[in-house]
Amino acid sequence: MSMKVQAACTEVAWAARLNLLWLAFTLAGGVVLGLGPATVAAYTLARRHARGESFQAWREFGTVYRREFVRGNLLVLPMAVVATVLVGNYLYLSALGPGAGAPRIATLVALAALVVVGSYIGPIYTHYDLPLRACLPKASLFAITRPAASVVQLFVLSGIAYATSVMPVLAAVISIGAWIHVNTWLCLRFFQENEARLHSKGIS
């Protein structure tokens, strides 16, 4: 039991460190230009951690951040812009009252779909050797063809978002790192299951 508690504490500490790294490097890029490379760097290190690798977190994060500065922004910023627009539309439609119920629900569905697809983007980018333009189609295909996995992703993110809304300080301490950590851990297992299924059918 003590070993399980120790292991759990180690993972919590790692999520908190990942959160700090993401925040620090996002701010270092002026937020807008730091968001993409910081997110890619966080997913890269989360994948390495999930695979049991040892590394110096700050140095490796900085290395990936610099290497992926342009590609990270091209990967993340378009989805961040779309998400911002959808959230703004949802808040605007909510303020209009019951008369805007249908477009508000449609916006919420679109936002949920974006979140589900987006939950695969980081893990796919860091796990597979794909051209940048192929990441979104592959993430969309995975979200559609693996609905159970997509529901799990959405459930986990909703839980973290709810906890953060109750205690906003968690956003600065662990929430983002916890999501990236758990999201990566889940996706690696989903990818392994999918690859094993395809292999059993003779599909490479």
Predicted confidence at residue 196, as pLDDT, reads 83
Quote the CA–CA distance of 63 and 48 in Å, as a whole number: 14
pTM of the model: 0.92
Predicted confidence at residue 130, as pLDDT, reads 92
10 Å Cβ neighbour count for 5?
9
pLDDT tens track, the chain, 204 positions: 677 778 888 899 999 999 999 999 999 999 999 999 999 999 999 999 999 999 999 999 999 999 999 999 999 999 999 999 999 998 888 888 787 778 889 999 999 999 999 999 999 999 999 999 999 999 999 999 989 999 999 999 999 999 999 999 999 999 999 999 999 999 999 999 888 887 777 665
Would you say the C-alpha torsion 84, 87, 90, 96 has a positive or negative sign?
A: negative
Quote the CA–CA distance of 175 and 181 in Å, as a whole number: 10
DSSP, residue by residue, 52-71: T----HHHHHHHHHHHTHHH
Answer whether 84's CB lies under 8 Å from 76's CB.
no
Residue 130 DSSP label: -
166: its two tokens: 């109750």
Cα 112 to chain centroid, rounded: 14
